[in-house]
Amino acid sequence: MIVVALSRNLLFWFVIIGGLAIVGVAQLYVPGSKYIRYIIPLAAGLLFLHAVMDRMRIKLHDRRSQLSVIVPWAVAFTVVGFISAAVNWEGIGSAIIGLKGYFQMWAFFFAFILIQWKQEILNSLPRAVFIIALLQLPFVLHQYLVLVPMRTGLSGLVPVDVVSGTFGGAKYGGGANAVLAAFLLIVIACLLGLWKHGALSGWKLLVYSLLMIFPVFINEAKISAVYLPVIFVALFYKDIIQRPGRFIIVATAASGIIAALLTALTLLHPSGRLQSWSDLVEFVYEGQTASIAERSGRGADLSRWTALTFWAKEHVSSNPIHILVGHGPGASRTQDSVLDLADTLAEKRYRGLNIGYTAISALLWDTGILGLATILGLFYSAFRVAGKLAVRYKDLNAFYAGMFEGLRAGILVLAISLLHKDFFVFHIPYQTLVFLMLGYLVVVGKLSQEDNASKNAGSAVRQSNTVNEH
């Protein structure tokens, strides 16, 4: 462990592998080792210390580089979060636990963007993430073939929720199947981007995509039916005019995959009462727009929609401070989701309502409108940066161009996931994925700017020499 702590490269890989694989596996298969999840944020903190020491050694003039637009939004949310904790102070214990849920992996992001990484590390990242994606398959098969039958028939459980790969869950409780679906579909988006730019053959795309899509079909994360069309539109909307033939082929394939997914979600639904896609859509719509009275007794009285309208209703005549910066990080969390913390706003005033049902509603309650605005700005800026990098590399590097087009679609997936679940505010594997993607965009964007600057400087020198010769 000492060797890992002393090496920033080993720490870097330890955080990525630990966050995307080890934490979730330990949570599901070794419940008694739940405290292992604290090791990953601790490692991220040590990595951040490496970054601070690196920056202290770098001369001031060498530090100057154009700041990515992603970074100010991240800093802004950090400021809002700590202001909210200070304004709503209820003791050091509550503040630490509340802030920990939100910021446990932010040290990884800031370390990632501050350390001067070798190109070999950055080049190996996509391959490493792809290997982690493949690693999901044996876990998914075990969970589906062994754990799901164990859970079938147990009251209050959706058996396939536990099909979450390495992203965590409880043997007889909930699971991060939606995070697994988002991760694999982001990987598919990157594969499609590589194929689009000629960096991946059609046969490899087909084989890899089938491997990646398989868990999505069996874990019944209904949000996947939204992610898929968003990915295809984000990647191929320009082809409608520029390459209509390819667009027709891709649209046909995408329609077939989405139709197959909807069919699987309909036939495999636990109720057994759904007969068509329209039944599935109606079921989801009614469940997510039902009033509190209509949902009474379902275990989570607020739906994804009413969690937002309820916040608005409760804040019509509320203290403006609570509207702007919320009630403090962790205020929307319940005893079931926060270790040793039962004195939150959600527990004291709104017990059983699950006011932090989604990341959007949790952000509103915890950090207010300002906190939500900064997070939306963070994702929007990342979306723009990924698009600009894809254009910049279009004629220079097919692999990078395809990768950034895929990441651009992946950012949309993550943004939509804020409306679906609350993983952004506490879940280490999800947070690791988010900040790995954002950090990658910042670092490669910075390297791209430095390359352009050096090329421009070289061009200026050559022009100056030519003038002097004349």
Let me know: does 357 contact 371? Beta carbons within 8 Å.
no
Please report the pLDDT score of residue 62 as a whole number: 53
Closest C-alpha among 345, 359, 385 to residue 307: 359
Please report the pLDDT score of residue 467 as a whole number: 44
- Does residue 58 sit within a domain? yes
- Does residue 29 sit within a domain? yes
3-state SS assignment for residue 200: coil
Please report the pLDDT score of residue 264 as a whole number: 72
Partners of 169 in the beta sheet? 175
- Does residue 470 sit within a domain? no
Let me know: does 323 contact 311? Beta carbons within 8 Å.
no
- Does residue 467 sit within a domain? no
Measured distance CA(313)–CA(361) in Å, rounded: 13
Task: Give the chain's domain count.
Answer: 1
- Does residue 296 sit within a domain? yes
Let me know: does 178 contact 421? Beta carbons within 8 Å.
yes
Half-sphere exposure of 100 (CA within 13 A, CB side): 17
Closest C-alpha among 72, 55, 76 to residue 64: 55
Closest C-alpha among 271, 185, 179 to residue 225: 185
Please report the pLDDT score of residue 461 as a whole number: 41
What are the φ and ψ backbone dihedral angles of 79, each rounded to 5 degrees?
-65, -45
Helix (H) or strand (E) holding 386: helix 359-392
> Domain of 447?
2-462
Measured distance CA(233)–CA(229) in Å, rounded: 6
Measured distance CA(276)–CA(278) in Å, rounded: 5
Give ∠ CA 253-199-233 in degrees, rounded to 5: 35
- Does residue 456 sit within a domain? yes
pLDDT in tens, the chain (470 residues): 566 667 889 999 999 999 999 999 999 998 877 677 889 999 999 999 989 888 777 655 455 556 789 999 999 999 999 999 999 988 787 788 889 999 999 999 999 999 988 889 999 999 999 999 999 999 999 999 999 999 887 877 888 999 999 999 988 888 999 999 999 999 999 999 999 999 999 999 999 999 999 999 998 888 999 999 999 999 998 877 777 777 787 778 878 888 887 777 776 666 555 555 555 555 555 555 555 555 454 545 788 889 999 999 999 888 899 999 999 999 998 865 444 455 788 888 898 888 999 999 999 999 999 999 999 999 999 999 999 999 999 888 999 999 999 999 999 999 999 999 999 999 999 999 999 999 999 999 888 776 655 555 444 444 445 445 54
- Does residue 329 sit within a domain? yes
CB neighbours of 249 closer than 8 A, spacing ≥ 6?
none
Let me know: does 87 contact 325? Beta carbons within 8 Å.
yes
- Does residue 442 sit within a domain? yes
Let me know: does 408 contact 234? Beta carbons within 8 Å.
yes
Tokens read off for 282: 């109606």
Question: Is the CA virtual torsion 125, 400, 48, 426 positive or negative?
Answer: negative
> Does pTM surpass 0.75?
yes
* Most distant CA atoms of the chain, gap in Å: 87
